[in-house]
């Protein structure tokens, strides 16, 4: 297990945001189904995206990996699996997307992963695929992985919850254009993380896929037997990953810039900019660069995080050192991430002296004058590990972050970028 030793630090300088993990996953999955060769420039090469790349190979894509480009010759939707099992390791996105895509296979495919992944919910997606005519079942208890899928998607109408994971919806949107008959998808309950569905729709449109939708994104009508065109795409920078650097600058009162951030691509976590301003941070966004210009004092605020769940870990850290109370609301879906992030954030930040109240679907945080360094556990969750590292930058003494080997899941250069900016961090295997 890798640990990080973090000491109080002041940051200064600039870095480039890493490529978007979410765009890389989606572009790879769509390229797998395309008729022809897609070219994906500047993809994120991380533990999670490698899982999607490897799964695509198993399902029949021919892939060439260069230093800054992936070339993917797709299957045209006619999958020819090279193995009966796909190990997606720790990647929940890979599991959801590839389960839906693998249901197009003429032969059954089993998808499994590590112990953390086997706790992730899959029941709503597997039930939906079965209702649409595919062979689909969960081998785990209570709708948990491993899953077995195949036989093709016939089509028809299906209802699915939008409250557990938007990845279920994105997975169906990617796979169902290859159904034998038209598909109608109706979302019941609140659709959380809506910007991620918008991201999926954007890339599907780039691939020539036609999907009729209503304004609220609660109903989708998908014509059958569509052909995916190859993609030619440069992956944009990731606001989700950049939020940890911007948040670190905010809590330390530092001047830091993050480049490679493009506002023209749908990314819900772009909301980190107005949210930081709500906390009282001086932020400028010019061209493709976001600059945090320091802050005299952070102010507590209330945020509906239903569409930005990946921002919650860093926002919780901001709340611990902000004056007054911060409420991070509408986040029940955080209990189904790599770990139960609501409970984990409350537990670990309390160890550092923060006042955090855990509710079923929100966190209430009372700001404290100073956090205290101690040992904190990230539970093998990459966003927890990065958030707790940021907390260590404003804590008295030394903060030891356990489970930091998970960070390359989404941001392989995180520690290197933090060191470039002046953070006092030691890596201990």
Using CA of residue 173, residue 177, residue 180, residue 183, what is the dihedral sign? positive
For residue 219, what are its two tokens? Answer: 């109903």
By CB neighbour count within 10 A (0-12 exposed, 13-18 middle, 19+ buried), where does 296 fall?
exposed
Quickly tell me which residue has 């979302």 as its tokens: 187
Using CA of residue 314, residue 315, residue 317, residue 318, what is the dihedral sign? positive
By CB neighbour count within 10 A (0-12 exposed, 13-18 middle, 19+ buried), where does 285 fall?
middle
Cα(43)–Cα(19) distance, rounded to whole angstroms? Answer: 6
Of 316, 314, 255, nearest in space to 15 by CA: 255
- The answer to whether the bond into 367 is cis (omega within 30° of 0) is no
Q: Write the CB contacts of 387 (distance below 8 Å, at least 6 apart in sequence).
A: 244, 247, 313, 314, 316, 317, 345
Cα(174)–Cα(29) distance, rounded to whole angstroms? Answer: 8
E strands, 270-402, where?
Answer: 283-286, 289-293, 302-304, 325-329, 355-358, 363-366, 371-372, 375-377, 395-396, 398-402
238 included as an active-site residue: no
Report the 10 Å Cβ neighbour count for 202.
Answer: 13
Q: What is the largest CA-CA distance in the chain?
A: 62
Strands, sheet with 255-259, edge to edge from the N-terminal-most edge strand: 12-16, 255-259, 289-293, 283-286
Q: Write the CB contacts of 227 (distance below 8 Å, at least 6 apart in sequence).
A: 35, 76, 77, 208
Choose the catalytic residue: 310, 361, 381, 417.
Answer: 310
The residues assigned a catalytic role are: 310
């Amino acid at each position: 297990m890798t640990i990080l030793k973090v000491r109080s630090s002041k940051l200064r300088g600039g870095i480039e945001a890493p490529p978007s993990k979410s765009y890389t996953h989606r572009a790879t999955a769509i390229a797998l189904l395309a008729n022809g060769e897609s070219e994906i420039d500047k993809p994120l090469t991380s533990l999670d995206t490698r899982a999607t790349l490897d799964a695509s190979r198993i399902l029949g894509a021919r892939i060439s990996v260069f230093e800054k480009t992936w070339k993917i010759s797709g299957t045209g939707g006619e999958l020819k699996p090279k193995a009966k099992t796909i190990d997606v390791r720790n990647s929940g996105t890979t599991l959801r997307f590839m389960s839906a895509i693998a249901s197009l296979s003429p032969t059954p495919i089993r998808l499994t992963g590590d112990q953390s992944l086997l706790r992730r919910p899959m029941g709503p997606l597997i039930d939906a695929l079965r209702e649409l005519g595919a062979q689909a079942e969960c081998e785990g208890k209570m709708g948990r992985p491993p899953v077995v899928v195949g036989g093709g998607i016939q089509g028809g109408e299906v209802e699915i919850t939008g409250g557990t994971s938007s990845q279920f919806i994105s997975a169906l949107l990617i796979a169902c254009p290859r159904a034998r008959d038209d598909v109608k998808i109706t979302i019941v309950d609140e659709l959380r993380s809506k910007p991620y569905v918008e991201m999926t729709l954007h890339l599907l449109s780039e691939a020539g896929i036609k999907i009729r939708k209503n304004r609220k994104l609660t109903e989708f009508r998908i014509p059958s037997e569509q052909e995916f065109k190859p993609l030619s795409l440069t992956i944009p920078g990731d606001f989700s990953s950049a939020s940890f650097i911007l948040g670190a600058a905010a809590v330390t009162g530092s001047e830091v810039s993050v480049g490679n951030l493009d506002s023209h691509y749908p990314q819900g976590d772009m909301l980190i900019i107005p949210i930081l301003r709500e906390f009282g941070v001086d932020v400028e966004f010019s061209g493709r660069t976001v600059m945090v210009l320091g802050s005299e004092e952070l102010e507590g605020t209330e945020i509906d995080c239903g569409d930005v769940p990946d921002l919650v870990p860093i926002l919780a850290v901001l709340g611990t050192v902000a004056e007054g109370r911060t409420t991070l609301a509408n986040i029940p879906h955080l209990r189904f991430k790599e770990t139960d992030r609501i409970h984990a954030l409350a537990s670990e930040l309390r160890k550092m002296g923060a006042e955090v109240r855990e509710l079923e679907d929100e966190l209430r945080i009372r700001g404290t004058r100073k956090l205290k360094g101690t040992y904190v556990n990230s539970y093998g969750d990459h966003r927890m590990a990065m958030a707790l590292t940021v907390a260590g930058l404003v804590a008295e003494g030394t903060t030891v972050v356990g489970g930091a080997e998970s960070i390359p899941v989404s941001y392989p250069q995180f520690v290197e970028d933090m060191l470039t900016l002046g953070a006092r961090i030691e890596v201990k295997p």
